[in-house]
């Protein structure tokens, strides 16, 4: 779809009482479904997909990267799925983690550069 939206997105996802159409925000839904994969990534089950992720992140210390203060622009992740997952995890964590202990980790820290 090209050009401006004919109806604002906010008006479509608002409640009826607020003048909206009570539709699902597809962008937020996709993000939440992708972030739900974190539960599987850190779960006990093994699989080829998890081995692929570990191999892709090997030079960044593997799954430990999820605990680091990384900048997605500094990483090369060949899979768009995992690249977006890392980006959205970083954004989510920035907004909702009050302790922010991950900012203290030196490895892959975007605030500490050589």
Of 35 and 1, the one with more pLDDT: 35
- Same domain as 72, residue 96: yes
pLDDT of residue 8: 67
Q: What is the pTM of this model?
A: 0.68
DSSP 3-state of 39: helix
And the tokens for 64?
């430990």
C-alpha–C-alpha distance, residues 18 and 40, integer Å: 37
Would you say residue 114 lies in a domain?
no
- Same domain as 12, residue 40: no
Task: Give the rounded distance of the alpha carbon of 9 from its chain centre.
Answer: 22
Domain that holds residue 95: 36-104
Number of domains composing the chain: 2
Please state, rounded to an integer, the average pLDDT across all residues of the chain: 80
pLDDT of residue 10: 63
């Amino acid at each position: 779809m090209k050009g401006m939206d004919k109806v604002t997105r906010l008006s479509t996802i608002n409640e009826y009482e607020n003048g909206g159409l009570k539709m699902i925000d597809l962008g937020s839904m996709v993000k939440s479904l992708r972030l739900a994969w974190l539960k599987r990534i850190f779960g006990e089950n093994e699989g080829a997909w998890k081995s692929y992720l570990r191999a892709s992140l090997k030079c960044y210390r593997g799954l430990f990267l999820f605990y680091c203060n990384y900048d997605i622009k500094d990483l090369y992740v060949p899979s768009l799925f995992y690249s977006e997952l890392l980006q959205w995890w970083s954004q989510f964590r920035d907004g909702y983690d009050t302790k922010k202990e991950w900012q203290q980790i030196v490895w892959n820290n975007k605030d500490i550069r050589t």
